[in-house]
Amino acid sequence: MRAYRERKKAGGYKQVSGWAAVQPFDVMVYSDHRLLDARSLALHCRIASKISRNPDLLAIPRRNLQRWKQRAAGKTPKYLLEWGTVLDQPWPAIAIFITSGSEKAERLRQSSPFAGVLDPEERKRIYDAFRA
């Protein structure tokens, strides 16, 4: 082993006994994906608040979902079927789901049928709050 180390040293290699972090560990770095998930949750919390005040707005995501299903050629994608199951529930259950932190809710929020519930100014305020 000693001869091996001497050859490495003669070759210009330096012995390393541990790893050093490039950045300090106290710096919390969020990925873009986590930021997008947080923004999506904020949007859906605002949507839930708005629909709670005006339940007629629930027709928008149901209409969007119906339109998407009609445009799907052949077999309906799984996420559309999952959204259909969610939107068939009473409003309180829908509100709980779209504002939850569950994996399923996070995944489905990436293809949300709630587009059109918030006006452009409401969306802009939330987007501005989540700029990286």
pLDDT score for 62: 96
pLDDT above 90 for 1: no
pLDDT, tens only, 56-115: 999 999 999 999 999 888 888 999 999 999 999 999 999 999 999 999 999 999 999 999
Helix locations, the chain, DSSP H: 2-10, 32-53, 59-71, 78-87, 91-98, 103-109, 120-129
| Amino acid at position 93, single letter | A
Using CA atoms, how far apart are residues 35 and 29, in angstroms rounded to an integer?
10
Token couple for 30: 């969020």
pLDDT score for 15: 67
Contact 46, 95 (CB under 8 A): no
